Amino acid sequence: NAGVTQTPKFQVLKTGQSMTLQCAQDMNHNSMYWYRQDPGMGLRLIYYSASEGTTDKGEVPNGYNVSRLNKREFSLRLESAAPSQTSVYFCASYRQGLSYEQYFGPGTRLTVT
Amino acid sequence: GQQLNQSPQSMFIQEGEDVSMNCTSSSIFNTWLWYKQDPGEGPVLLIALYKAGELTSNGRLTAQFGITRKDSFLNISASIPSDVGIYFCAGRPYGQNFVFGPGTRLSVLP
């Protein structure tokens, strides 16, 4: 089992460019999450998908969109990147109802110039 | 949004020493998780806690779910160099998503 995988690992964008961050999990988990991590702050929730076919906003959703493509995959899209979106992005998943243990991917380090 | 406080923010200890850190909230939580993050990596789950007063160990790590349900504690015994990293707590209020603390950065001096 690979657990949670994310691509790409690193990305540099110019202001205004768009990109999609990919996330996949092979643990048969229902729920998937996108977080951003900034220095000195805890992980902040951008969007989440409690189950296939549903998505909801988290704490900091502005400037992002998501797609829950199927049970395995959950993508995060930046339509028009801004320097304030420079951050490390983590995807996580867990199986609701059995436990609440979230497992994280290795992260995508994004720089917007 | 909701905030978790973690203390200390950072600590420098000698190899072999024991470490204690804690996480506090103004809200009651039903679940506490503790993670470790190495530089350039994603957080790795260390311990999960589900009941007030629960004490759970994972090797040299021991975590406790506070009786008030507003705090949690993590202890590391006999620290070694590979314990270096950032330790995060995460708490989940009933029916809501997890909230994460800002982390405690641990440095171990040989």
Partner-chain residue, chosen from B1, B3, B98, that has the shortest CB–CB distance to A102: B98
The predicted-structure confidence for B57-81, as pLDDT tens digits, reads as follows 999 999 999 999 999 999 999 999 9
Instruction: Report d(CA B102, CA B105) in Å as an integer.
Output: 10
Top-confidence residue, B1 or A96: A96
C-alpha distance from A20 to closest chain B C-alpha (Å): 19
Q: Residue B5, exposed/middle/buried by CB under 10 A (0-12, 13-18, 19+)?
A: middle
Q: Is A95 on the interface with B (CB under 8 A)?
A: no
Chain A (5-24) residues lying within 8 Å, Cβ to Cβ, of chain B: none
pLDDT surpassing 70 at residue A77: yes
Report DSSP letters for A14-42, one per residue. -TT--EEEEEEE-S--SEEEEEEE-TTS-
Q: How far is A84 from chain B (nearest CA, A)?
A: 19
Give chain B positions within 8 Å (CB) of A103.
Answer: 45
Q: Tell me if chain B has a CB within 8 Å of the CB of A104.
A: yes
- C-alpha triplet B12, B35, A46: angle, nearest 5°: 120
pLDDT at position A98 is 62
What is the percent of chain B where pLDDT is above 90?
88
